[in-house]
Each structure stands twice: as C-alpha cells, then as structure tokens.
C-alpha cells in the first residue's frame, strides 16, 4: 500500500483528537496545509482502500456493554466451518485463527451480561466444542492509536 | 464485568440518561450512528444531528461528554493495520503470579509495540495464562525479536508464556452494542 506524505500526515496526526467543531475537516486541513475538500476526499479514498475502517469514535467496550474474548479448539477439518458458524452468531466482531490448540479466537459483545451468556451458551452448543470464556478483569492499555512505523513498512 | 480500573480514577457515570434536556432516544440513535463512524461531509456533526433528531450542538456536546467520561476512548482515524503491511499479529499470554500481574500489566502497556494489554482469568487446567498482550508487527521475525527484547528488558525469563500468531482473520470490525451486529 503506497500512501503519499499527506495521507501519512493525516494518519499520524488524527488517530485521536479529531476536532469536535462545526467544520472538523476544515480544521484538520488548516493544520496540515490541505483544503477541506482534499481532507474529505483523502479520508474517503483511504476508507475505500481499506486503510481505514472508519473515521470516528472508538468506544470503551467495558462501559458500552458486555464483551468477552472466547476461544474454541477445532480440528483442522472443522476449522473453516466452525469459524463461519461463529461469524453468524450475533455480536461477534473479531474472529481469528491462531496457532494454538485453542485455534479460533473471537470477541462477542452484547448489550448486557445475560444476553451475552445466552448467546455464548447457544453458540457453544451449536459448535459442539468446549469454549474458553475469558472476560477482561483489568485493562492496562490506554488506546491512543498506534504509531505507524512507516520506515519498517517501506 | 469489571471496569478497566487503571484507565481512570473515577467511577463512570451512566452514559445515556444524565444529559438534561436531550432526548434519550436521540442519544441512543447517535450511539448507533457513531458505530459506523463520522460522515465524511463538511459538517459531519450536523449530518448526525439530521439523522438522529438532535441539534448539531447537542451532538457535539454528547460526543465531548462521552470522551470525558471515557465511553469514547479516542476519536479519530481507525487504521486497518493489515492493509498497511502489518502482517504479523501475536497474542502473547503469560502465567504471572497473581500479586505481580497488575504491575507487569501496567509496565507492558507502556511499551510502544504492545497495542493491547489485559488481565483475564485463568481457566485451569486448560488455560493457565492470566495476562494477555498483543503485538502488531511488520513480520513474524520482527515480532519475535521484539518479544525477545521485552523478555530481556523486564526479566521475564521465568514467567511461562505462549505466543499465538494469528494465521487468518475470519472477521474484523468495530464492536456493536446497540445496533444489530
């Protein structure tokens, strides 16, 4: 993915602290020496190219509802089917294959704990695989965005 | 579920109903809309206002309040690291003595290449690990080198750990709580 200096500057400057004012893209443009129209166009293009998933808020999950990291151990033959089944479950927003006996890892969210537990119970039954349920006890990382190492990428 | 206590020193207030004179339903609609991100229009908060029945001022006030309360962790560009070339992602899990986990978690959270760090419960006998951190890197070798550095710098050789590289993303999207996902 080749990005130009202005795209990189947008990413470096605005993973947080996006202005809350009537014309935020204009404020960003002024700060970076671009035009408002150009900022909007670039953001739209970066979304289109899937460099950005969105422009907007990242919610604190523990305040926004219930969420939990779960894992199941699927056999290699079962894996794609199990992953597809997990993707269909309501509230699943991340689902990764990882190198471990527990090889499918996903995050499920719901409006409250009871709904979450019900959905997980149902999914566990559908999958027929024992499930690790790993709620967060304490979070240590403050999300400030992620400083991109452009040099390592080039 | 417990709050991430070390994020903030206060008990978070309910986020929807403590803003006088703003429609609770309007705020709920705003939450839903925001999960899809800000509109890319010259006046995005005005666009959100039109979609939620609030005023532009109310939309901006709600977003600022949610940021102060910590419901919104950050407002900005949400980058998809894989598209950029961050192809290696390892979840590194540690079996830390209970009395050390909080301190070690805070230490790890301050390391630039660690992008997330959480304490989670063990599930014995299957799962002995109680501290989880995420390393995003440009390559597998680079991530392993970063992990070596971490272990050396923080004397972690005696702490059992496992490295779970991700091999495939079946699904990756923002959390959805109030809209249907």
Q: Which residue has the tokens 């899809």?
A: B36
pLDDT of A65: 73
User: Tokens in use for A48?
Assistant: 């289109």
Q: What are phi and psi of A111, to 5 degrees?
A: -65, -30
Peptide bond into B16 cis (omega under 30): no
Taking the CA of residue B160 as centre, how many other CA atoms within 13 Å lie in the half-sphere pointing to its CB? Answer: 6
pLDDT of B158: 96
pLDDT digits (tens, 9 = 90+) for A67-85: 899 999 999 999 999 999 9
Q: Report the residue of A56, A94, A123, A146 to disrupt the B interface, i.e. the one with the largest count of B CBs within 10 Å.
A: A56
pLDDT of B179: 43
Q: What are phi and psi of B87, to 5 degrees?
A: -90, -15
Looking at the structure, give the CATH architecture of the domain made up of residues A61-134: 2-Layer Sandwich (3.30)
Give the pLDDT mean for A60-66: 70
Interface contacts A/B by beta carbons within 8 Å: 287
Contacts of A147 in chain B (CB under 8 A): 112
Mean pLDDT taken over chain B: 86
What is the dotted CATH code of the domain comprising B81-165?
3.30.70.3460
pLDDT digits (tens, 9 = 90+) for B39-74: 999 999 999 999 999 999 999 999 999 999 988 989
Residue A39, pLDDT > 80, answer yes
ipTM score assigned to the predicted complex: 0.77
Between B24 and A114, where is the model more confident?
A114
- Report the candidate in A116, A15, A16, A105 with the shortest Cα–Cα distance to residue A64: A116
A59 and B4 within 8 Å at the Cβ level: the answer is: no
A109 and B175 within 8 Å at the Cβ level: the answer is: yes
For residues B51 and B26, give the distance between their C-alpha atoms in angstroms, rounded to a whole number: 9
B42 and A134 within 8 Å at the Cβ level: the answer is: no
pLDDT digits (tens, 9 = 90+) for B18-35: 555 678 889 999 999 999
Between B17 and B112, where is the model more confident?
B112
By the CB < 8 Å criterion, does B108 face chain A?
A: yes
Classify residue A12 by burial, with Cβ atoms within 10 Å: 0-12, 13-18, 19+. middle
Class of domain B14-69 (CATH, top level): mainly alpha
For residues B33 and A108, give the distance between their C-alpha atoms in angstroms, rounded to a whole number: 20
The domains of chain A are located at 5-48, 61-134
Between B82 and A38, where is the model more confident?
A38
**Which residues in chain A (74-133) have CB-CB distances under 8 A to chain B?**
83-84, 86-87, 90-100, 102, 104-107, 109-111, 113, 130, 132-133
Confirm if B12 and B73 have CB atoms less than 8 A apart.
Answer: no
Confirm if A36 and B42 have CB atoms less than 8 A apart.
Answer: yes
Q: Predicted confidence band at B110 (pLDDT cuts at 50, 70, 90)? A: confident
By the CB < 8 Å criterion, does A4 face chain B?
A: no
By the CB < 8 Å criterion, does A2 face chain B?
A: no
Q: Predicted confidence band at B174 (pLDDT cuts at 50, 70, 90)? A: low
Q: Predicted confidence band at A93 (pLDDT cuts at 50, 70, 90)? A: confident
3-class SS letters over B86-123:
CCEEEEEEECCCHHHHHHHHHHHHCCCCEEEEEECCCE
pLDDT digits (tens, 9 = 90+) for B77-91: 999 888 888 889 899
The domains of chain B are located at 14-69, 81-165
User: Tokens in use for B81?
Assistant: 């690291």
Q: From the CA of B147, how many Å to the nearest CA of chain A?
A: 16
User: Tokens in use for B75?
Assistant: 């407002």
Q: Is the pTM of this model over 0.95?
A: no
Residue B1, pLDDT > 50, answer no
pLDDT of A120: 97
For A21, nearest residue in chain B (alpha carbons) = B60
Q: Over pLDDT 70: what percentage of chain B?
A: 83
By the CB < 8 Å criterion, does A26 face chain B?
A: yes
Residue A119, pLDDT > 90, answer yes
For A12, nearest residue in chain B (alpha carbons) = B77
Q: From the CA of B115, how many Å to the nearest CA of chain A?
A: 7
pLDDT of A3: 92
């Amino acid at each position: 993915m080749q990005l130009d200096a202005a795209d990189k500057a947008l990413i470096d400057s605005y993973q947080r602290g996006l202005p809350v004012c009537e014309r935020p893209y204009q404020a960003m443009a002024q700060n970076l020496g671009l035009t408002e129209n150009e900022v909007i166009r670039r953001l739209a293009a970066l979304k289109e190219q899937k460099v950005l998933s969105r422009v907007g808020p990242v919610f604190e999950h523990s305040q926004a509802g219930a969420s939990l990291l779960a894992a199941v151990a699927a056999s290699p033959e079962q894996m794609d089917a199990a992953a597809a089944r997990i993707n269909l479950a309501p509230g699943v927003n991340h689902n990764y294959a990882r190198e471990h006996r527990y090889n499918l890892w996903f995050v499920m969210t719901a409006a409250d704990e009871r709904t979450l537990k019900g959905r997980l119970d149902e999914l566990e039954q559908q999958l027929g695989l024992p499930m690790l349920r790993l709620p967060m006890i304490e979070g240590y990382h403050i999300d400030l965005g992620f400083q991109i190492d452009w040099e390592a990428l080039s | 579920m417990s709050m991430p206590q070390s994020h903030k020193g206060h008990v978070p207030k309910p986020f929807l109903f403590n803003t006088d004179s703003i429609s609770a339903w309007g705020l709920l609609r705003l939450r839903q809309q925001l999960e899809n991100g800000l509109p890319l229009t010259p006046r995005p908060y005005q666009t959100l206002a039109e979609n939620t029945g609030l005023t532009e001022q109310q939309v901006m006030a709600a977003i600022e309040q949610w940021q102060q309360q910590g419901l919104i962790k950050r407002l900005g560009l949400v980058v998809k690291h894989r598209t950029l070339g961050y192809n290696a992602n390892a979840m590194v899990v540690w079996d830390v003595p209970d009395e050390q986990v909080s301190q070690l978690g805070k230490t790890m959270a301050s390391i630039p290449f660690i992008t997330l760090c959480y304490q989670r419960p063990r599930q014995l006998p299957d799962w002995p690990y109680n501290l989880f951190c995420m390393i995003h890197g440009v390559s597998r070798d680079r991530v392993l080198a970063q992990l070596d550095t971490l272990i050396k710098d923080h004397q972690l050789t005696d702490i059992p750990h496992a490295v779970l590289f991700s091999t495939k993303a079946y699904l990756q999207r923002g959390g959805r709580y109030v809209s249907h996902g």
